[in-house]
Amino acid sequence: MTKEQIKATILEIIAQIIPDEDLSNLKSDIPLREQVELDSMDFLDIIMELRKRYGIEVPENDYMQLATLDGSVAYLEPRMKKP
Amino acid sequence: MVTNKPNEARIVITGVGLTAPNGNNLAEFRKSLLAGKSGIQKFNIRYMGEVLAGICHFDPLKYQKKKELRRGTRAGSIAIYCAQEAITDTKLDLAFLDKSRIGVYLGITEHGTVETENEIYEIKQFDYDVKYWSHHHNPRVVANNPAGEVTLNLGITGPHYTLGAACASGNIGLIQGLQMLLLNEVDLALSGGVSESTGSFGIFAGFKSEGALASHENPEKACRPFDKDRNGVVVSEGGCIFVLERLSDALKRGAKIYGEIVGYAINSDATDFIFPDKERQIECMKLALNKAGISPEDIDIINTHGTGTTEGDPVECQAIREVFGEYPHAHINNTKSFIGHAMGAAGALELAGNLPSFEDYIVHPTINLDHLDPECHLNNLVINEPKKIDKVDYIFNNSFGMLGLNSVVIVKRFEE
């Protein structure tokens, strides 16, 4: 998956989790929670979707790395490469 | 009969919000009941395939965001819709109310079954690995969920909880609200019952295994209490929430008053898990009459619990004959014949469907009664067509539940 594809996937997951929010103007380098209403249970939904779709386990200590879209892409890119 | 109770000790209904399989507010529901319009349809459910059910068609997005719908439960959504509609009906503006003095008391037959079945189905796709079990599971399945979702949606900070009372729950939610107002714990009670039972294959399968799940080639004819050909329960979802207030408060603000709750009773059979007990039902009905300070001859409309099961219906009919037999004045009907068994919501919905009789003097019928079972004979059973009567001062509402739980609520036409 390219970085763009990963970003699109994350946005698709977020859109499913917070369907009332407008995601069209999200800034990639600013924490998501500063831009949209995304609480801790929603964040766990993202983690669960990554687990279900891609078998990716994100340890709790790494949660902060998914705070922004850019951070998420950087964190997920090596993990989404098929072995 | 003129009451000598002070207005602070008289509890009245000042708002109604509901969703039933044949109507999403009281006016629509009543119209369907008078027109003989059923709300039962074919419905597909996991593992069972096609069943018959009563499904509600309200718009959940009227009062909830998509995210709230995704996170919450169907029962929560039904409860929010009914609570919002009930508040709107009172003409009260929540912004000007002390929200810490509002209580939410909702009857449920069961809760958590739907969500648990869904989660097990979900993890089955992952070979039952529980790391795929949802973090939303616990807040969805706690028994207070439907009432709690109402408080989250409306910003109510007073008490909230549900009352698990099987199929008597609708009445019991109402009774709890009344009691909390009398104890001065709250100033406004959102009371009634909700059900999301149609989301659970286990409820359908359970009735089927008991030999008590209704079937019929025409879904609208499937629920047929008191008919010789009745063959069981039609499972339905639904909700009905009443706003209750002390009469003193209702009068102060010139509220529309649907009726006054003047009597109620709850008791237990202590005889069987499923089968009802005539003697305890009789006791319950008499207790409610005594609490209201009236006699059987005062009652104008009896709404029966009758679910359409072979075993249950005749027992209630015998009990009614023993209590009311010498006073053949009361007219008798059954709401489940239209909407099926809305479980936790049943008692509240069935009472609501009859409240307009105080204004229009019409008793809605029992439908699908083509061949009356002689064991279910009742004087003045209103069959298939609505009936106009001369006097409607008291409505008597039966609701019974599994494990032998009986309840009766009596509502009186409001007079100062």
The pTM for the full model equals: 0.97
Quick check: B136 and A17 CB within 8 A?
no
- What's the pLDDT score for residue B342? 98
Please name each of the domains of chain A with its CATH number. Answer: 3-79 (1.10.1200.10)
Q: What is the pLDDT along chain B (416 residues), one digit of tens a residue?
A: 567 899 999 999 999 999 999 999 999 999 999 999 999 999 999 999 999 999 999 999 999 999 999 999 999 999 999 999 999 999 999 999 999 999 999 999 999 999 999 999 999 999 999 999 999 999 999 999 999 999 999 999 999 999 999 999 999 999 999 999 999 999 999 999 999 999 999 999 999 999 999 999 999 999 999 999 999 999 999 999 999 999 999 999 999 999 999 999 999 999 999 999 999 999 999 999 999 999 999 999 999 999 999 999 999 999 999 999 888 899 999 999 999 999 999 999 999 999 999 999 999 999 999 999 999 999 999 999 999 999 999 999 999 999 999 999 999 999 88
Closest approach of B126 to chain A, Cα-based (Å): 8
Quick check: A20 and B65 CB within 8 A?
yes
Nearest CA in chain B to A40: B135
DSSP secondary structure of B152-199: HHHT--S-EEEEE-GGGHHHHHHHHHHHHHHTTS-SEEEEEEEE-GGG
CA-CA distance, B266 to B268, in Å (whole number)? 7
Q: What residues in chain A have per-residue pLDDT under 50?
A: none
B3: phi then psi, degrees, rounded to nearest 5:
-85, 150
Q: Any alpha helices (H) in B301-414, and if so which ranges?
A: 312-324, 336-339, 346-354, 357-360
CA-CA distance, B290 to B299, in Å (whole number)? 12
CA angle, B39 then B213 then B58, to 5°: 25
Closest approach of A39 to chain B, Cα-based (Å): 11
List chain B domain ranges.
11-252, 264-412
Please tell us whether the domain made up of B11-252 is placed in CATH 3.40.47.10: yes
Q: How many CB pairs under 8 A join A and B?
A: 23
Nearest CA in chain B to A39: B67
CATH of domain B264-412: 3.40.47.10
